[in-house]
């Protein structure tokens, strides 16, 4: 089934409101296996609305209309749709009673035309509105089906989920199960991940794979369908294995609401490892990022921002001679920062960041160059240098995520 969503309202064209209803409907239709090929927004203009509905009806099986159901002067979806399908509007008795009762009981004056909200197009199935007065409709004509919904999300969402979705599912009569899995990657860009997964993405059918770029990371959504849950999960598992085989070194977790800091804080909690930090380049951003996660205090009690050389010496005892001999942006200083912080707070782990946020270079290193030191419980210190390109904030975000990934790689599994 091919669907098209049309939002009606001049306020949408003025950009005064962000349309969250269209993605809500689109996502639910996708889950039902209904393909959305177009969405459109049109203002409160009779002629342009009629043209838009006409064209949609020609090329789609289902036309979803939102908005324009409240009878103020500029709302007209039902009136225009009635004209397009050449059917009259008729009163829907239950809704009419509900409207009259409300105004009588609350002793408010009933607005002119309020009863228009209880009208439907002849032959349509009424979709009751549990929150407001404007009823929805599912209308089947020879040409196509129309689903008419109110625009406020508080009215639209329950009406869609309780009234429209079961009816559409019945129409689809597929009995198909559809499931998605989101995998998260760091250290590789979106185009490079697509290159890497080319053999899976090219010619994909079931499951489908789609990548999305986030700030300095990439997610991959794998969506599979099948006749039962077992088959679908197996398809997802198999594809995940293939993905891990090709790009496993960049993978760190699952889910849309996940993050590197969540994964790392939970990992350290499970392993009962405490951590501190001495931050130069990142100036507190690593520690602040850890504290994004509720419960981070179990593994993190505090740490140091050592922005200037003097603070490195005073707060975490980096020897003056180390800085003099190797510079602030060096492997040796990164090691001294990490071990110094670890000694000060007696933690299992300590991480350090020293580098060049930019825009200017420092000690001969270009903007975006940095060292990370990770001091381990057994006294070893891992070090790694990075070269990134971007704004100050992008460099620092990348550095923090690189540090988290370093910890993840060390302790996962």
Of residues 363-382, which lie at the interface with a copy of itself (CB under 8 A)? 366, 368
Q: Per CB under 8 A, which of residues 92..131 are in contact with a copy of itself?
A: 102, 105-109, 111-114, 131
91, 122, 244, 310: which one contacts a copy of itself (CB under 8 A)? Answer: 310
Window 185-204: contact mask with a copy of itself (x via CB under 8 A) = ----xxxx-xx-----xx--
Buried b / exposed e along 262-276 (16+ C-beta atoms within 10 A)? bbbbbbbeeeebbbb
140, 228, 292, 410: which one contacts a copy of itself (CB under 8 A)? Answer: 292
12, 135, 200, 406: which one contacts a copy of itself (CB under 8 A)? Answer: 12
Sole residue written with tokens 């009816």: 167
How many residues sit in the footprint of a copy of itself (CB under 8 A)? 105
The residue (of 41 and 174) whose beta carbon lies closer to a copy of itself is 41
Query: Minimal distance in Å, beta carbon 327 to a copy of itself?
Result: 15
**Should residue 178 be labelled a site residue for a copy of itself when binding is judged by CB under 8 A?**
no
Q: Which two tokens stand for residue 202?
A: 């090219």
Window 379-408: contact mask with a copy of itself (x via CB under 8 A) = --------xxx-xxx--x------------
Distances (CA, A) of 372 to 280, 336, 382, 400, 413: 10, 11, 8, 9, 22
171, 311, 376, 382: which one contacts a copy of itself (CB under 8 A)? Answer: 311
**Should residue 1 be labelled a site residue for a copy of itself when binding is judged by CB under 8 A?**
no
**Should residue 17 be labelled a site residue for a copy of itself when binding is judged by CB under 8 A?**
yes
Question: Residue 350's closest CA among 325, 379, 321?
Answer: 379
The residue (of 122 and 320) whose beta carbon lies closer to a copy of itself is 320
Radius of gyration for the alpha carbons in the chain, expressed in angstroms and rounded: 29
20, 97, 234, 410: which one contacts a copy of itself (CB under 8 A)? Answer: 20
Name the DSSP letter for residue 380: -
Please state, in angstroms and rounded to a whole number, the distance separating the CA atoms of residues 339 and 157: 54
Task: Count other Cβ atoms within 10 Å, centred on residue 307.
Answer: 14
**Should residue 287 be labelled a site residue for a copy of itself when binding is judged by CB under 8 A?**
yes
Q: Per CB under 8 A, which of residues 222..251 are in contact with a copy of itself?
A: none
1, 33, 39, 412: which one contacts a copy of itself (CB under 8 A)? Answer: 39
Give long-range contacts, CB 8 A cutoff, 24+ apart: 41-45.
41/6, 41/7, 41/8, 41/9, 41/12, 41/13, 42/6, 42/7, 42/8, 42/13, 43/8, 43/9, 43/10, 43/12, 43/13, 44/8, 44/9, 44/10, 44/68, 44/74, 44/75, 44/76, 45/10
**Should residue 315 be labelled a site residue for a copy of itself when binding is judged by CB under 8 A?**
yes
């Amino acid at each position: 089934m091919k669907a098209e969503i049309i939002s009606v309202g001049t306020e949408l064209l003025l950009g005064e409101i962000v349309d969250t209803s269209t993605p809500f409907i689109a996502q639910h239709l996708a889950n039902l296996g209904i393909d959305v090929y177009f969405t459109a927004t049109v203002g409160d203009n009779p002629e342009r609305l009629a043209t838009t509905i006409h064209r949609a009806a020609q090329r789609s099986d289902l036309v979803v209309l939102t908005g324009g159901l409240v009878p103020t002067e500029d709302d007209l979806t039902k009136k225009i749709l009635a004209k397009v399908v050449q059917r009259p509007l008729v009163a829907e008795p239950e809704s009419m009673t509900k409207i009259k009762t409300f105004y009588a009981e609350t002793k408010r004056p009933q607005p002119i035309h309020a009863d228009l909200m209880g009208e439907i197009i002849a032959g349509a199935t009424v979709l009751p509105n549990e929150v407001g007065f404007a009823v929805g409709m599912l209308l089947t004509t020879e040409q196509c089906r129309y689903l008419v919904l109110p625009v406020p999300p508080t009215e639209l969402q329950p009406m869609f989920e309780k009234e429209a979705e079961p009816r559409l599912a019945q129409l689809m009569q597929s009995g198909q199960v559809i499931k998605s899995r989101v995998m998260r990657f760091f250290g590789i860009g979106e185009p490079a991940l697509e290159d890497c997964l080319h053999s899976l993405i090219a010619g994909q059918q079931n499951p489908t794979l789609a990548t999305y770029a986030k700030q300095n990371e990439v997610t991959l959504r794998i969506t599979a369908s099948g006749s039962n849950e077992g088959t679908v999960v197996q398809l997802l598992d198999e594809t995940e294995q293939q993905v891990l085989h090709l790009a496993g070194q960049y993978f760190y977790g699952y889910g849309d609401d996940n993050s590197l800091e969540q994964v790392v804080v939970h990992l350290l909690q499970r392993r009962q490892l405490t951590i501190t930090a001495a931050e130069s380049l990142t100036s507190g951003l690593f520690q602040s990022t850890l504290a994004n996660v509720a419960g981070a205090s179990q593994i993190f009690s505090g740490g140091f921002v050592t922005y200037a050389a003097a603070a490195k010496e005073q707060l975490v005892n980096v020897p003056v001679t180390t800085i003099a001999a190797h510079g602030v942006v060096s492997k040796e200083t990164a090691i001294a920062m990490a071990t110094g912080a670890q000694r000060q707070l007696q933690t299992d782990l300590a991480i350090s960041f020293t580098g060049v946020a930019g825009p200017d270079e420092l000690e001969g290193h270009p903007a975006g160059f940095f060292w990370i030191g990770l001091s381990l419980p057994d006294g070893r210190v891992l070090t790694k240098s990075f070269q990134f390109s971007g704004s100050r904030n992008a460099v620092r975000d990348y550095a923090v995520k690189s540090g988290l990934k370093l910890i993840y790689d060390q302790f996962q599994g």
